[in-house]
A and B are shown apart, each in its own frame.
Chain A
Amino acid sequence: MQEIDLAQCTLREANSQLQSEDATGAWAIRNPRGRHALAVGLTAPIDVLIDGQAGYYAGGMNQRATITIEGNAGPGVAENMMSGRTHVRGNASMAAGATGHGGLLVIDGDAGARCGISMKGIDIVVRGSVGHMSAFMAQSGTLVVCGDAGEALGDSLYEAKIFVRGEVRSLGADCEEKDMTAQDTVLLQSLLDSAGITGYPAGSFRLYGSARRLYHFHVDNAAAY
């Protein structure tokens, strides 16, 4: 394992090593101490362990790398991720996986407000619960929540899918419960498998999606805009 000690080097030095086109193999970032913008903009299929707590935007815009955050992650973890995998062992703050276009984000703990906001193809699996306004304006991809969801889940939703096992405090505008098809079950099960989550049968989840009432402006829906 190649080691980077943030007690000994700058953030720029750390990131430029990880961003190098020649980077290969496994890396560990020691002493992250909640620093921001750790392991952002990676393009090589490397494994990166952030050995502690990460600040804002850890793993931001990731392409192909596998990033594991041993502790909690700050706001915007894996924001705009394109591909690859980000795994938060602790809790994630606000806007986890915001605007992500692809890849898989797994959060072992809880995620804060606006988890999966504006997501555009990323898959997010949260073992715990998510905060209010999660999947706000989510466009595509899948959000799986094994715990509970906060207020206004899926507000102004486009074509993303949301699976929740626990309670949903309230649904946002234009979000409604859907019948789960066999295809949905397969999708959910494959995401749970990818996230390494066992013991929660797909049948114990509910599916939420867009009612598509806001897709074309209509005066009867004016209050929802």
Chain B
Amino acid sequence: MTDNTRKIPRTKPRFSATFDPFTISEIQRAAATGIYDIRGAGTKRKLPHFDDLLFLGASMSRYPLEGYRERCDTDVVLGTRFASKPIRLKTPVTIAGMSFGALSAQAKEALGRGASAVGTSTTTGDGGMTPEERGHSTTLVYQYLPSRYGMNPDDLRRADAIEVVVGQGAKPGGGGMLLGQKISERVAKMRDLPEGIDQRSACRHPDWTGPDDLEIKIEELREITAWEKPIYIKIGASRPYYDVSLAVKAGADVVVLDGMQGGTAATQEVFIEHVGLPILAAIRPAVQALQDLGMHRKVQLIVSGGIRSGADMAKALALGADAVAIGTAALIALGDQSPDLAEEYAKLGTVPGAYDDWQDGRDPAGITTQDPELAARLDPILGGRRIANYLSVMTMEAQAIARACGKSHLHNLEPEDLVALTMEAAAMTRIPLAGTEWYPGRQGF
């Protein structure tokens, strides 16, 4: 007998964990367009990160330094191995390579102003050096990339250091891409390309492949710059132990290691989300390689990819890095993802915090664009001040942590100052799980 008076309970609509709404929309998009999704920024998936580590402050067994009074130095020298003019920075946080083209001239100028104000360096990108960024950067690292867009020996000699880019955290093994919307007249001229086309760039350098040939390339770069300038080698995190070893063997003064959280101007979504290592997992093998070669602190290590705060910086240094670099965080400091732009983001079909169409050149913040009207929205002087503020806060945060650990220099932070909150972080960093003396892999487990 059926009880018609009672309402029949119905199951609620249930989304699949496998075919979640994002995945479904991506399949629908692919089926409609026939092209993979290209976007900017870095990975958005949740990854083991510096949040999974904590510092052990001083207490009874260690004594802290007095905040604001007792010294905690932050300076770092990069490129002491072969270069006759190493780079001296007041704080171990630098601005990562981002191109004029990907960013507006105003954004590049703002980065230069901000970095110079706090005594650190900024870096060119794929597309050459602009007078704006050279003029406003006290210390400028010149990237040497597979495309060699805008590459010329005058700029090479004008630079303070040279960064040979082998790869990038967002896309280790991949080349560059800049869509037509951003190939403005000026960008096109600097890159010797027709205006407005979709620019593809190579993943390998045109005239060398592998560390044995890179060694010869480095000799050429040093000969052209009279052995003055530090040579950095930038690699995307994938096989950090081998790659760092080979960078050292090829003759690097400095190794830049970029984790998969690192941003990009434009790359396939599948690349951003599925290739590479989180930076947390890459630092210990990289440091191990330097230690095994007797080169730790002699060849300096800069790490990047998802660095957001002084805490991240302090943790990276404690794991053995000599400095960190920021990219995405610097763009946010400039005004990217600002809630003030919510209405304009809505017109682009997104919301503050999720905007990643850096490839499109329609950035309402005027940062990732070549549109003169949009770019004019960014005041480089104000932007520079915001960058300087943010870099100062990062430095002060790192000092606060270092003093609490009893360190009079950030470089005296060490792995033993850390504990891990998760098994994953413990395994990846060889930092003991909090409250234990154990990490996976230790003592045979």
Given A61-B153, A118-B202, also A215-B208 (CB < 8 A): no
- Pair B220/A57 contact, Cβ less than 8 Å: yes
Segment touching A, from B144-152, B253-261, B361-369: B144-152
Indicate whether B194 reaches chain A with its CB closer than 8 angstroms. yes
User: What number of A-B contacts does a CB cutoff of 8 Å give?
Assistant: 110
Q: Which of A11-25 contact B (CB under 8 A)?
A: 11-12, 15-16, 19
Given the known interface contacts A216-B198, A217-B198, the answer about A40 and B206 at a Cβ–Cβ threshold of 8 Å is no
Q: Which of B55-63, B91-99, B221-229, B270-278 contacts A (4 or more CB under 8 A)?
A: B221-229
Docked complex: B214-266 residues within 8 A CB-CB of A: 216-217, 219-220, 223-227
B contact face: mostly helix, strand, loop, or mixed = loop
Measured CA separation A36–B191 after assembly (Å): 28
A20 to chain B, nearest CB (A): 11
22 inter-chain pairs at a CB distance below 8 angstroms, sorted by A residue, are A12-B223, A16-B226, A19-B224, A37-B216, A56-B216, A57-B216, A61-B152, A79-B207, A80-B151, A94-B207, A98-B148, A99-B206, A114-B206, A118-B202, A118-B206, A120-B149, A137-B201, A158-B194, A214-B200, A215-B198, A216-B180, A219-B35
Cβ-defined partner of A80 (8 Å) among B148, B193, B219, B225: B148
The CA-CA distance from A16 to B224 in the complex, in Å, is 9
- CB pair A61–B156 under 8 Å, yes or no, is yes
* A159 interface residue per 8 A CB criterion: yes
Please give me the residue from chain B that is nearest to A137 by CB atom: B202
A60 within 8 A of B: yes
Interface magnitude class on chain B: 35 or more
Report yes or no: A57 in contact with B217, Cβ–Cβ below 8 A.
yes
A120, B151: Cα distance in complex, Å: 10
Chain A residues with CB below 8 A from B34, complex form? 219, 222
Q: Which residues in chain B, 45-100, are within 8 Å of chain A measured between CB atoms?
A: none
The 3 nearest A-B residue pairs measured at CB: A41-B224, A219-B34, A76-B207
Residue in chain B with minimal CB distance to A16: B226
A117 and B223 contact, Cβ closer than 8 Å, known pairs A101-B152, A140-B192, A219-B35: no
- The minimal Cβ–Cβ distance linking B266 to chain A, given in whole angstroms, is 12
Contact of B153 among A11, A82, A139, A225 (CB under 8 A): A82
Judged by a CB distance under 8 angstroms, whether B33 is at the interface is: yes
